[in-house]
Amino acid sequence: MKQVCGVVLLSILLIGCSGKSLDEFEEEYAVDFYTEDIEDRVANLDENQIEGLLAYIEEYQAEGISDFDVLHHSDGEEGDFFGILLKEPDKDLPDYELYRMIRFDVDPSDDAFEPVRVTSGINGGGGVEWVELVEPTVRNSDGLITISSIGQWQAEFIYQGEMVMFDADDIWTVQFTEEELRAMEPVGNEE
């Protein structure tokens, strides 16, 4: 079930503005925006960028296992590091450069390939961040590893002269075996 939480702090007056109103976005995506005074260094998003952001979040709020690519992989004396990039679904979403990632280390002395120090985040897009609400969970059952990251999208951006904010809960889940993960080639530059 898709739920997005929010509180209206100030009334939204969009007299003479072009494009979709915040009310229209709220109705279409079941999001409650709240606004306040504009601060420095805040992303200024246009209608297409907001459409892309909301469609992206809405699509990923669907339950299920996410597909992924290995973004980074490095072997070290203290352990192996993996960064995995969760793929966008094969749908025609409005253009919004946002990438979901899960990063973890593997202790080289652990025969079970148990991920440790798991973190999750996002890259790109502007106007939104991913905040982990609880430590990601890791389950290893008969060699199938499942990582779940529970958190919240926290958005803050300017639209039509208004400072807009909203929060949206979400859970990301990926599954893999050690063999599947190690067989994948990194898709980005190693750090």
What are the tens digits of pLDDT across the range 123-149?
766 788 888 888 888 888 888 889 888
**pLDDT above 80 (res 45):** yes
Within a domain: residue 92? yes
Q: Locate 121 and state its tokens.
A: 């985040």
Within a domain: residue 13? yes
What are the tens digits of pLDDT across the range 79-100?
788 888 887 666 666 666 677 8
105-110, long-range: CB < 8 A, 24+ apart = 105/79, 105/80, 105/81, 106/79, 106/80, 106/81, 106/82, 107/79, 108/77, 108/78, 108/79, 108/80
Within a domain: residue 178? yes
Within a domain: residue 36? yes
Within a domain: residue 188? no
Angstrom distance (rounded) from CA 70 to CA 182: 9
Within a domain: residue 114? yes
Within a domain: residue 191? no
Q: What is the residue range of 73's domain?
A: 4-183
Between residues 61 and 43, the one the model is more confident about? 43
What are the tens digits of pLDDT across the range 5-35?
222 222 222 223 458 888 888 888 888 886 7
Q: What pLDDT shows up at residue 166?
A: 92
pTM value? 0.66
Domain tally, the chain:
1
Angstrom distance (rounded) from CA 107 to CA 77: 9
Q: What pLDDT shows up at residue 38?
A: 60
For the chain, what percent of residues have pLDDT higher than 90? 2
